[in-house]
Amino acid sequence: MIRLHRLAPLLLAACAMGCTGSLFQSKVPPPTIYLLGAVSGASPPAAAISVDLAVLKPHVRPGLESDRIAALYPDRHLDYFADARWSGPLGEVLQDVAVQAFHTHAALRNVSGEASVFASAYWLEIEVKDFQAEYAAGANAPTVRVRFLARVGTSADRRILGQFAADADQPATENRLTAIVDAYARATDAALAKIVADVDATLAKTLEAR
């Protein structure tokens, strides 16, 4: 036992010396970074609703809040596509895309990503319940499932004005990452378009009731 204890540090040192070159020279290629953005569409109405809205950072379901692109398999185990990443943590990415969607489709005077920037009178909070590519048994390609819960309210008293659900499923055209990311973009755009329309209608109604 005494000999083994004395030899262990020597063996560890020899191993470290032999492995030094490989530890700091990884041959693994860097991941491909994918950027989500709002799908371009028609210009917003000229007569904007005279309110300012802050889109808060979404609350993301555990397992999805990272920069990894999620895949769900028939046995319900969650995994991630290798060598692929979103351009940032999912909550930050979706906050940015939501602001883009409002700029593209909404009739609001101003939309920002931070409440402090323009002291917005209204806020939007999004909860991300699903945001994964789901593989069904026997399917050749996955279907991207996006499910958001949203609520809009007033900044002054935190009063809830409306709550909405937005779901979108988009099949990928093939089992390739570029096609899967495209399905993510289309499903995200469809879900956010519904939220934009619901928020527009709610805030317009709120102003009319004053």
Which residue has tokens 């619901």? Answer: 198
Alpha helices, DSSP H, located in the chain: 2-23, 90-105, 115-118, 177-208
At residue 77, the pLDDT reads: 95
pLDDT in tens, 75-93: 999 999 999 999 999 999 9
At residue 42, the pLDDT reads: 57
Indicate if the alpha-carbon torsion angle 72, 129, 82, 39 is positive or negative. Answer: positive
At residue 112, the pLDDT reads: 92
pLDDT in tens, 171-206: 999 999 999 999 999 999 999 999 999 999 999 998
In this structure, is residue 3 part of a structural domain?
no
CATH number at residue 123: 3.40.50.10610
Q: Which of 189, 201, 196 is nearest to 94 (CA)?
A: 189
In this structure, is residue 7 part of a structural domain?
no
Residue 22 pLDDT exceeds 70: no
Cα 182 to Cα 178: distance, rounded to the nearest angstrom: 6
In this structure, is residue 12 part of a structural domain?
no
Cα 113 to Cα 127: distance, rounded to the nearest angstrom: 15
Cα 199 to Cα 201: distance, rounded to the nearest angstrom: 5
In this structure, is residue 189 part of a structural domain?
yes
27-36, 55-64, 75-84, 163-172, range with the lowest pLDDT: 27-36
In this structure, is residue 179 part of a structural domain?
yes
- Top-confidence residue, 10 or 208: 208
Which residue has tokens 């109604």? Answer: 205
The whole-model pTM stands at 0.82
Question: Following DSSP, what letter does each residue of 151-174 receive, concatenated?
Answer: EEEETTT--EEEEEEEEEEEE-SS
pLDDT in tens, 123-154: 999 999 999 999 999 899 999 999 999 999 99
In this structure, is residue 20 part of a structural domain?
no
In this structure, is residue 64 part of a structural domain?
yes
Cα 106 to Cα 127: distance, rounded to the nearest angstrom: 20
Structural domain harbouring 133: 29-37+48-208
In this structure, is residue 10 part of a structural domain?
no
Number of domains forming the structure of the chain: 1
